[in-house]
Amino acid sequence: MTTVLVCDIMIEDMKKLILFLFGFLFLFLVKPTYAQDAVPALRFVCLDLQWCNDLAPEACGFIPGQHRGHRGLLRSSNQAKAVPNSNETYITECLDVDTNADSIPEVVCTTGNSTMDKKLFCGDENATSPECDHLSILQNSVQYSLDHDGSYGIYYKENNQFVKQPLDPRDPIATNSLGNIIPSEIAWQSYTPANLERKFLAWNFIQPTQQTGGGVGGQQQASLEFAFRSSSCSGQAWDPYGRVFDAVTLEPIPQTSVELSQLNPDTGTFDVAYANQQNPTIINPNATRADGRFSFLVVDGDYKLVSSRNEYVPMQRREASTIKPNAKNIYINPTYPEFYYSDSNPIQQRGRIEQRDIPMKPNIASGYRYPLSLMSQNSILDKDNNVIYTGAVSHPFAELVIEVCKKENGIEVCNGKTIYKQGNGGPDKDGKFQVTLRQQNLRAGEYFKKTFTPVDLNAIRIVDGSIMTQFLSWIGNVIKIPEVQAQDRSISTITQPIPTYLEGYAYDAEGNLMPNATVGIYVSFSEQALYTKKANQNGYFKITSEFLPTTEYELRYTGEETQTSVAQLSTSEFLTQNEEFMTVEEVDPYLFATSSSDPRRDVTPTYQPPQKISISPDSQVSQTPTNTTPTAAPVAGAPQQILLVGVVLLLLMGTAGLLLVMYLYKKRTQNTPLA
């Protein structure tokens, strides 16, 4: 009996050995299904950002007399860490820049060094493409500078002191075993005349098998994700010095010249030349952006402002009553609750930024209205894989309409319209918005279309949270007459779905299956692939969650022979091409699954892909948002408006009558003598 048992065990062991050797030979001789070339991945995480203007001077290394604005303090985020024990970590400042003058910003990131930019974003220090030199792009487009005067630049905290670093040449920094940056604090002070949104990222090159998290006790799943997780990655901007607006329409006025003069103690007069002499870093006069904002960072002193544009004249204090009433609900500054007029008292700058908003009188009674611009936008995933869409538009309280759309036979078909206003996440008085997009309900090929439309700022009811105010706001939105030609000033953008798990087949631009193609994952602010994966001989590939960013990205397929990008597609196009495969194989593109937790890691697909699929040029959906004019939604005509007004009035009269009856009954009861 014992002999038989030992023999059985030996036979089982021999079987295991044979299977192991067979598997080893198979792996050695045959390219595996999940073949992966040893190509480094490019990973980025957000850094926490605090503006130094909100901190004590010593917290950012200021010395007496230095400008405190425009400097931020950077630290590693507790929510997402860089690659641990890395000696090649790149810090970049990313700005929302309208490089194409199409009213839709793009994110441009720079290390502050052209050579480092080329290596980081193009993978070649000798890259010659202008697209690789992000520093030059920012210098040319928004007058970006890290050496604007002696106080601007990059400072590392060393031995409890901030030490200014050379800009060129400069080496990458390191990280510790927890993925925190070394030095632990960096003070970064850059200059742009305009008040642009900024965020800061830490980048690492990693091998596909390298651990990317700094978790404790092996609990690293959350930190394996690419991370736009900390709040600073939604973007921050300097405090504006003020806004210029139309006193009739209340809309911000773009391209208005705002000139600053300073009191010269020697002459006793306000002098522009003296202001420039005392503040050599300012651009004077300053031109407002689409949101009417201007910014002057100045030393302490007494100042005056003069705003000018051909269609307007400056206003005096005696004309304050002619400004439309809603202006104070939109533009009033809490620290200085008055507007700035041509005859206002001088601005006394004493250690803090003094903000002033300037009303201007139009030369026509109706005032002027301006096209809406998207100042910044950001789409990131939350922990539930919903897309959090944040940003700012130029116009206060603009209406945001979000639809789910898909191209069918070259025609965009949209449904599921949701309207966002000030009370439910839409743009507030500063134009800032934050809404949640539930992408898990999207079908293959669908994407989100967002349309921003200006509103009549004189008719809008400002929601303060009270039930009565919200009720009045609802009434106003119901019965107000739609603004004429408001749709002509709208702007639309697209948000692609952000799959957290990719599995499927690669097809070229003609719809042919691409065996052994190289699959690249790209974000809009890097010309280098964040991650590459080699498809197998059938064109099949899989990319798990730890190698996919949590912001919008696209896929690019490179042919095995041509070594050039022959197919570039959005995530919605990838999902369309692989819809049948994912249905048959029950693949969830919004599942968070790493290489170790992937429920399909041992599954061999049985699906047989077609060698050629139909690719329609009309079905292509560009990742870059487009500035389009949406089809005007049907609006209630005059009879409908009158009917709605009547219904509301009847409701109000009925409510008032009921309250009156209750009051009289209560009074009568109180006056009835007791028996």
pLDDT digits (tens, 9 = 90+) for 549-567: 989 999 999 987 766 667 8
Structure confidence by residue, pLDDT tens digits, 73-87: 999 988 788 889 999
Dihedral of the CA atoms 163, 164, 166, 167 (nearest 10)? 130
Residue 188 has pLDDT above 90, yes or no: yes
Structure confidence by residue, pLDDT tens digits, 99-140: 665 668 889 999 999 999 999 998 776 677 888 899 999 999
Distances (CA, A) of 209 to 29, 523, 648: 21, 21, 65
Position 480 scores a pLDDT of: 42
Say which residues have a Cβ less than 8 Å from residue 4's Cβ, sequence separation at least 6.
Answer: none
Q: Which of 85-99, 192-206, 311-325, 455-469 has the lowest mean pLDDT?
A: 455-469
The model's confidence at residue 29, banded by pLDDT at 50, 70 and 90, is: very low
- Please, how many CA atoms are within 13 Å of residue 325, restricted to the half-sphere of its CB? 4
Contact in structure between 312 and 362 (CB atoms under 8 Å): yes
The model's confidence at residue 628, banded by pLDDT at 50, 70 and 90, is: very low
The model's confidence at residue 639, banded by pLDDT at 50, 70 and 90, is: very low
Position 280 scores a pLDDT of: 83
Task: Tell me the β-bridge partners of 232.
Answer: none
Which residue reads 């759309």 in tokens? 405
Tell which wins on pLDDT, 609 or 17. 609
Sign of the four-CA dihedral 639, 644, 647, 650? negative
Q: Is 609 left (phi over 0), alpha (psi -120 to 50) or beta?
A: beta
Task: Tell me the β-bridge partners of 112.
Answer: none
Q: Is 31 helix (H, G, I), strand (E, B) or coil?
A: coil
Per-residue b/e over 281-296, b at no fewer than 16 CB within 10 Å? Answer: bbbbbbebbbbbbbbb
pLDDT averaged over every residue in the chain: 79
Distances (CA, A) of 93 to 43, 74, 112, 235: 15, 11, 8, 11
Q: How far apart are the C-alpha atoms of 229 and 47, rounded to whole Å?
A: 9
Q: Is 123 left (phi over 0), alpha (psi -120 to 50) or beta?
A: left
Tell which wins on pLDDT, 616 or 85. 85
Position 126 scores a pLDDT of: 65
- Whether omega for the bond prior to residue 183 falls within 30 degrees of 0, making it cis, is yes
- For range 2-22, the mean pLDDT: 44
What is the token pair recorded at 414? 């949209």
The model's confidence at residue 346, banded by pLDDT at 50, 70 and 90, is: very high
